[in-house]
């Protein structure tokens, strides 16, 4: 998997990245060194110039998901504080629906635990998080009946009760993003 995550074929990269994510999630302690070794390879694929083209996007999204799974399930293998801001900048996923749910679920875990890097000082990252949630909703990355959609809606509702923070978050969104947030609230 380490060898093929940087393969020239997008399908091979996608399969290898998926396998690395599964390894992080379900592999035992024997897999820890491989998770550490995998991270720079996954990042190389994600940051490649053509990573978001139609032919490459699914492989890239599997790499982003694998990075998230390494941080979630094998956090001692990476510097989570260093990697997390990059991971957030790569969101949302919307082409690979299964990986999108995994990624949004981890994002919810981080938000619900008030992770300081995710929220930012004085919650300064919340407008960006709202944008990520809105993009996911616009691309139908998560079905409304999925428990993750309800968790995302609850995150939005919690901010909604805070007055000024809600106003600031909404002010940063385009009308399309605002409508997507409203759709999520109405349906989840």
Whole-prediction pTM: 0.95
Q: What is the pLDDT of residue 150?
A: 95
Q: What is the pLDDT of residue 162?
A: 86
Q: What is the pLDDT of residue 115?
A: 96
Q: What is the pLDDT of residue 44?
A: 97
Instruction: Give the pLDDT of the chain (188 residues) as one tens digit per residue.
Output: 999 999 999 999 999 999 999 999 999 999 999 999 999 999 999 999 999 999 999 999 999 999 999 999 999 999 999 999 999 999 999 999 999 999 999 999 999 999 999 999 999 999 999 999 999 999 999 898 999 999 999 999 999 998 889 999 999 999 999 999 999 999 98
Looking up tokens 């749910």 gives: 101
Rg of the chain, C-alpha, whole Å: 17
Q: What is the pLDDT of residue 67?
A: 98
Counting Cβ atoms within 10 Å, is residue 129 exposed (0-12), middle (13-18) or buried (19+)? Answer: buried
Report the candidate in 104, 117, 121 with the shortest Cα–Cα distance to residue 156.
Answer: 104
Q: What is the pLDDT of residue 163?
A: 80
Instruction: Decide: 18 and 62 in contact? Cβ < 8 Å.
Output: yes
Q: What is the pLDDT of residue 154?
A: 95
27 backbone dihedrals φ, ψ, rounded to 5°: -70, 150
Q: What is the pLDDT of residue 40?
A: 97
């Amino acid at each position: 998997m380490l060898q093929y995550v940087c393969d020239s074929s997008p399908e091979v990269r996608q399969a290898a990245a998926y396998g690395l994510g599964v390894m992080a999630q379900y592999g035992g302690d024997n897999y820890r060194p491989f998770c550490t070794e995998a991270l720079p390879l996954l990042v190389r694929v994600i940051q490649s110039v053509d990573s978001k083209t139609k032919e490459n996007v699914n492989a890239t999204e599997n790499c982003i998901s694998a990075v998230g799974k390494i941080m979630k399930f094998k956090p001692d293998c990476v510097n989570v504080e260093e990697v997390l801001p990059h991971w957030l900048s790569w969101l949302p996923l919307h082409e690979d629906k299964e990986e999108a749910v995994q990624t949004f679920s981890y994002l919810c875990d981080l938000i619900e635990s008030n992770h300081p890097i995710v929220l930012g000082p004085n919650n300064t990252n919340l407008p960006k998080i709202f944008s990520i949630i809105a993009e996911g909703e616009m691309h139908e990355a998560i079905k409304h009946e999925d428990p993750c959609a309800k968790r995302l809606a609850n995150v939005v509702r919690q901010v909604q009760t805070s007055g000024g923070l809600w106003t600031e978050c909404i002010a940063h969104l385009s009308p399309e993003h605002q409508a997507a947030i409203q759709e999520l609230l109405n349906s989840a």
